[in-house]
Amino acid sequence: MAEIAKSFFGPGTPGMIMLGVLLAGLITFLGERFLVSIGKGTWSIYYKTGMEIAAILSVVGVALTLLGKIFGLSQGNGF
């Protein structure tokens, strides 16, 4: 059971990236609410946009890694 969890939620795995994106979404929501509440609405838009870009880049990075593993496996190189 521990090996399965480690293989899915270990460093650089899709599960870890999903957790990171989920936490980034929560932090973005709370940060945006805080900035709006103190009267910095424009900054909240900048903050939200930056966090969305960071989330997209992390997902793209994992997707490229997985594609590399898939094509490496199809060429007989293995993981």
pLDDT tens digits, the chain, 79 residues: what are they?
A: 677 667 777 776 777 777 888 888 888 888 888 888 888 878 888 888 888 888 888 888 878 877 877 777 666 555 5
pTM, entire model: 0.60
Instruction: Spell out the long-range contacts of 18-21 with Cβ–Cβ below 8 A and sequence spacing 24 or more.
Output: 20/58, 21/55, 21/58, 21/59
User: So what's the pLDDT on residue 11?
Assistant: 72
User: So what's the pLDDT on residue 67?
Assistant: 80
